Structure 1
């Protein structure tokens, strides 16, 4: 009887510990498409990544993104920084061999960050982004340990930079974009993320919808049609060694029914 009681007591404490752990941490798995956005409609294709988010009782969280071969693509640890007074994230990205290729510290509250790119575990490039009420958004790109930036501007220099004005594009969009009749009749809405592939000479080589698995086909087709007609021009992106490289510029086109 004594032995039986001890077993029951042990089981009670074990169950309590497990229950406390489950309460302390919440784990969520989200399917992501090619644009790293949640798959909302699986009728248009399969997901390409899995995101696992674990949230602690102190509101801290760890997010890990894996490809379908279970290779870690990125990891984000987020918590409130009491000393600095804002929510902070530490973001690590990996290649397919699981080598660390970039590390970032980000102010989640205003979007500012410092990101370093690595080659064979050595820092080769540093990208800084600041966002303030007085000076707006500003990017600075540095090589190695240099404190003199090779690029400064309102757009990320490691992406192709548009040589057209936003106002010009928005005006063209409002005059040209049409809501596809099929999507309208089926009450389909959503945002098509059009990815524009630009080579190292700044020439556009292709267009595709990055989240086509999650949006009605007629919406992605219309978004691509309009952007092709606009015929956007670009300057090439900077690589991690400061050289011109091919890159992708993304434009979100939102379709909303009134």
Structure 2
């Protein structure tokens, strides 16, 4: 079964952000500001990419949606981080309606005559190194459900919230359903709707869903440039620092190397 992931990397969509801007130009100025982009690239390198590169089942496609006006300095940095990752492909699009553009990009990458497993992925989040393998197994285990419904949600709700910094990683385990990371959609052949057509925390209103809680499957990144943290009155989250045992767990489960984090985030 075809597996496709989609990551929106600072794509200046119309809609799709919790914090609104007065114009597309204002949104692009915010998205491409140097402090923000430096942070997004650090998280992408240290948190997002390692687990995807290390998937035990490498048969998947990972699409990175960017704006066609992304400054060359950032586009070049992004491309360099994807070197040696054959499953990844950058897709550049003009600004447009968020759900429509994401739907077009996902459907252009799939064989619509075949069923498809789709997952959304933020540039500061991570999935376990066996996420794709477990996703395929879930589809097999739930075959009668997938056969009888156009769309079925698959959600792994146990994971970690984590903040990387120059000293390593602060993290805490959490069980949070429908958080949008380690979440997938099984789509029948010929169905045009995609995982980005639905708010991640509301998919159970529109389709049957199956949740898995047996083991940590994700890392939800926590940083100052999270879209959800740009509003007023957002309280800080205090996270304990990982000890050597916790760092080893992150290496084993997510291929996130705390020494690599320290090097990248300590470089200024």
Task: Give the structure-1-normalised TM-score.
Answer: 0.27
Q: Max radius of gyration: which structure? A: 1
Q: Which has the higher helix share?
A: 2
Task: Give the structure-2-normalised TM-score.
Answer: 0.26
